[in-house]
Amino acid sequence: MTRIAILGATGYTALELLKILARHPHVEVTALTTRQETRPHISEVHPALTGQYDLECEALTPAQVAERADIVFCALPHTASMDAVPQLLDADCKVIDLSADYRLNDPGVYEQWYGHVHTDPTRLNDTVYGLPELYADAIPSASLVANPGCYTSTSILGLAPLVNAGLIEPTGIIIDAKSGVSGAGRRPKLGTLYSECNESVTAYGIGTHRHTPEIEQVLTDVGGAEVQVAFNPHLMPMDRGILCTMYPRLKQESSVEELLAVMMDFYRNQPFVRVVDHIPATKHVAHTNFCDISVRLNRNQLVVFSATDNLIKGASGVAVQNLNLMLGVDSVTALI
């Protein structure tokens, strides 16, 4: 059994990780951390886990974690992650980092979007970006995997086949993204109160959302030419799910059938991306690791749809998919 630790066990990402790992036959969760000094039992923090783990959340140092675990999921806020990750790696742990700290290759871009100097910049180029549909070859041998953002992977999975095939203009791609509230985390804030979000739809972070450079970096890598997107996230009155409705410009006329064929070909052996004829709905992928994608033409305007569960395929599910690749086991283990 591979020993697993989760740093930052009190959030929604950790909750979903623990639900998935409870049915994973090859791992054992051995350490959970929190910054609280009170050592709450994980069942108090997440009553949904009652009876499934007999573990306390402890204020452990990275060194203490490394003694107990072989692979560490790091579910810390950004900047906290780049403090802990170097120590874990030095202690020979492998790390799957769910924060944003190791996703961007360029420390200058990190500083520009996150407002912090990156304190571990030399490692950025050695990090593997944890989107298995694109980087499956590099993940098994990686010691540090940067797990993608939820909007990011949803957007990328829809656009990558078209960018890769050179069918769409790389710039001016409009992404209208719609997310459930759990993506905003579990820290109490006015904006994520039930009575503020329910029965309401609004946009936020227009032009400033931090998943923008991540989408651009990966799609540029996929297509060769520099990709530029206008990313427009919206908050939906639902727990979970992301639907990205994306409006790229076709380079030349194409049919829905041709475009779907390109997508199917691109994801031929991928168990978690489903190219569908119907328009994806977040409900069809909720509580699963699937990403459903499709396209439509609206009076010459290409419309690309991509739907995921933001906490599963957008965070904890893909993290376990990465774990499976690192363990060398079937990539669907614990994920169906």
Q: Which span (68-76, 77-85, 130-138, 229-237) binds its own copies, by CB under 8 A?
A: 229-237
Q: Which residues pair with 95 in a beta bridge?
A: 72, 144
> How many alpha carbons lie under 13 Å from residue 62 in its C-beta half-sphere?
20
CB 42 within 8 A of CB 36: no
CB 28 within 8 A of CB 1: yes
Please, which residue, 274 or 313, has the CB nearer to its own copies? 274
Please, which residue, 122 or 298, has the CB nearer to its own copies? 298
CA angle 105, 156, 300 (to 5 degrees): 135
The alpha carbon dihedral of 257, 259, 260, 261 has a sign of positive
Please report, as residue ranges, which positions from 50 to 79 form the binding site for its own copies (by CB under 8 A): 50-51
Q: From the candidates 74, 150, 197, 291, give the one annotated as an active-site residue.
A: 150
Token pair of 4 as six digits: 């697993």
**Could you write out the DSSP letters of every residue in 242-260?**
EEEEEEPPBSS---HHHHH
Please, which residue, 138 or 184, has the CB nearer to its own copies? 184
Question: Active site includes 244?
Answer: no
Binding mask 299-318 for its own copies (x = CB under 8 A): xxx-x-x-x-----------
Near its own copies by CB under 8 A: residue from 92, 125, 278, 328? 278
Instruction: Give min distance, CB of 67 to its own copies, in A.
Output: 29
Near its own copies by CB under 8 A: residue from 63, 203, 225, 261? 203
Binding mask 233-272 for its own copies (x = CB under 8 A): -x-xxxxxx-x-x-x-------------------------
Interface with its own copies: number of residues (CB under 8 A): 73
Please report, as residue ranges, which positions from 139 to 198 form the binding site for its own copies (by CB under 8 A): 172, 174, 176, 178, 180-182, 184, 186, 188-190, 192-198
Rounded to 5 degrees, φ, ψ at 143 are -100, -20
- Residue 38 contacts its own copies per CB under 8 A: no
- Residue 39 contacts its own copies per CB under 8 A: no
Please, which residue, 163 or 307, has the CB nearer to its own copies? 307
Instruction: Give min distance, CB of 12 to its own copies, in A.
Output: 7
**Long-range Cβ pairs for the range 272-275 (8 Å, 24+):** 272/133, 272/313, 272/317, 272/321, 272/332, 272/335, 273/133, 273/157
- Nearest-CA neighbor of 71 among 104, 43, 97, 36? 97
Residues annotated as catalytic (active site), given as ranges: 150
